[in-house]
Amino acid sequence: MSNPAAVRSGRAGLVVVLSAYAVRVACAERGWSLSELARRAGISRPTLAAALRGQPVRARTAWKVAHALEQKPATQLSQLLAGR
């Protein structure tokens, strides 16, 4: 899932498309709801929902999600990028 096509330049600068599947699996491994992930990442639930629908997010938002999921078992940002 580390396809670099998931990172591109958009109107807001560098944007990232997350893999909804990888995010959901990472949450399930931790026993978290998506709302819990949004809270831990410091982003709004609607922002996370939009990202999981395939809408691009800013690189900083993707980093926040990856950082929140960094607890064991480890999830790397490259695993969360959508393979397009």
Q: Which residue has the tokens 């591109």?
A: 8
**pTM of the predicted protein model:** 0.73
Whether the ω angle into residue 73 lies within 30 degrees of 0, i.e. cis, is yes
Q: Alpha-carbon distance 72 to 29, whole Å? A: 9
The pLDDT, as a whole number, for residue 5 is 35
The model's pLDDT over 7-49, given as tens digits with 9 standing for 90+, comes to 666 665 778 899 999 999 999 999 999 999 999 999 999 999 9
The model's pLDDT over 48-73, given as tens digits with 9 standing for 90+, comes to 999 999 999 988 999 999 999 885 54
Domains and CATH numbers, the chain: 16-72 (1.10.260.40)
